[in-house]
Chains A and B, each alone.
Chain A
């Protein structure tokens, strides 16, 4: 067995242990958690999960999160597709500066935007709505989407465009019926990344919402109360936040290898 294989096996153990521990705790009662360490729950219970699925303040958090994540993915993709095409095919005034400026927004720390966003969305009356969070997440997801899609589009030979134009296709028809299907794996990968970064972000999502659009990640802070931490429910909620991500990875697993290179291999 080669040395790097051993490193990989050790890594996967390291990767899975904290996740197992969370899962393990989610099946216990608070009494058992606090009474001492047990590697396997003594009396496995689904009570913690039942709490989450029956309490609207809990499960609405999941619905809110998924709503703004899906909205954000749709907005990001629909504006990024034509822009990425422009960057991959044409030279125009200020194109390089524009591309750089977009990238700086991907790198900008969310903490800088905290207060201005709060005031901006309150002023325009979108505070505590799903669309507010979706728009705020566009700050980093749109540049990323343009970047990834540009990589994939540059891999498509230009001759295809030229042939289509000679055949009498207009731009919209060519783009939607020929070009988009050609890069559909790239679009899938981009959607995956948009979903991922919107789903995992909390700082902006929490700042822009109070009740109606409150994300699940913010709901989880509720478990701290005067009676101490509700570790068991917290663990169950944590396990449930991993599920959508795991499902999404499973769907794109065949594209992951290519996708993570952002179309640049």
Chain B
């Protein structure tokens, strides 16, 4: 599809540029400002160069938080993407059930994130929560997410699966609905197996939406804050202190402006690099496949 060359189009983009720049560039300048200075008071500030960066990058707490974050995001993708595909394949395609299934599926996505945290905090508690009571009682397992690191991890992961798998499922569902019936008819005439239909018809058609799903899920899990903060507060110990929680502890909890700003910049550069890689992969795959 040929686009016209027209630099006046910038006037149409200008409002977006202004409004996003206001929220993105000014704060970023503030952060850079803090990252290179030691600020003791309004008139009392010193240039410290890259000292904060050295301090922050050699800090074990940050490295551990980063590692934890990578493990968590990988786990999220490994569970949610396949599960989302299976759910999308199994959801009713038409009829009255389809509407209800869609609405229910989308429900967790529209619950405020801290309420999601609250729901799971209650649900997983040993004393008043159904799940916590069930695991400790009838199942006979020793489960307590506020004391045991492993239990806390499982709780956060299950919560994230509950919260965000619907997004993957709905994206895939949308991709599947765009496949004309003729494809399936042709496949059944050829005697194709269920797996062959999935592998050669459904999966290629879902490629575009799957990429969006992977991108969104990776980025959003990489910046997760509210839900684990409500459920575990980053604990027990530091077991569920992900990058954003670590950053918020230093910025708002301890009010260490310099280190917080340095972490922010490192964090932001990681995000920028990952976005760049994903974006380019998306463009390449997007133009190569059925972007009609």
Q: Which A residues contact B (CB, under 8 angstroms)?
A: 2, 4-5, 7-8, 11-12, 14-19, 21-22, 25, 33-34, 37, 39, 75, 78-80, 82-83, 85-87, 89-93, 95, 98, 100, 102-117, 119-120, 135-136, 138-139, 142-143, 146, 154, 158, 196, 199-203, 207, 216-217, 220-221, 231, 234-235, 238, 241-242, 244-246, 248-250, 253-254, 256-262, 264-265
Closest approach, in angstroms, between the C-beta of B2 and any C-beta of chain A?
A: 8
CB contact between B30 and one of A110, A119, A199, A245 (< 8 Å): that residue: A119
Per DSSP, chain B at the interface is: helix
Q: Is the CB of B87 within 8 A of A241?
A: no
B contact residues around A257 at 8 Å (CB): 102, 170, 173-174, 177
B contact residues around A258 at 8 Å (CB): 174, 177
Q: List 7 A-B contacts (CB under 8 A).
A: A109-B271, A115-B31, A116-B27, A203-B248, A245-B109, A246-B103, A261-B175
B17 part of interface (Cβ distance < 8 Å):
yes
B contact residues around A117 at 8 Å (CB): 23, 27
- A22, A104, A207, A261: most-surrounded residue (chain B CB, <10 A): A261
Q: Is the CB of B123 within 8 A of A111?
A: no
B197 part of interface (Cβ distance < 8 Å):
no
B118 part of interface (Cβ distance < 8 Å):
yes
Q: Is the CB of B223 within 8 A of A109?
A: yes
Q: Is the CB of A256 within 8 A of B170?
A: yes
Closest approach, in angstroms, between the C-beta of B88 and any C-beta of chain A?
A: 9
Q: Which of B46-54, B71-79, B125-133, B143-151 contacts A (4 or more CB under 8 A)?
A: B125-133
Q: Is the CB of A154 within 8 A of B1?
A: yes
Closest approach, in angstroms, between the C-beta of A110 and any C-beta of chain B?
A: 7
Report Cα–Cα, A248/B122, bound state, in Å. Answer: 26
Q: Is the CB of A264 within 8 A of B291?
A: yes
Q: Type the 1/0 row for B52-75, where 1 means its CB is closer than 8 Å to any CB of A.
A: 000000000000000000000000
- B113, B115, B123: most-surrounded residue (chain A CB, <10 A): B115
B272 part of interface (Cβ distance < 8 Å):
yes
B156 part of interface (Cβ distance < 8 Å):
no
Closest approach, in angstroms, between the C-beta of A23 and any C-beta of chain B?
A: 10
**Contact A246:B110 (CB < 8 A) given known A91-B3, A107-B275, A113-B27:** yes
Which residue of chain B lies nearest to A204 when distances are taken between CB atoms in the complex?
B23
Q: Is the CB of B90 within 8 A of A2?
A: yes
Q: Is the CB of B247 within 8 A of A8?
A: no
B13 part of interface (Cβ distance < 8 Å):
yes
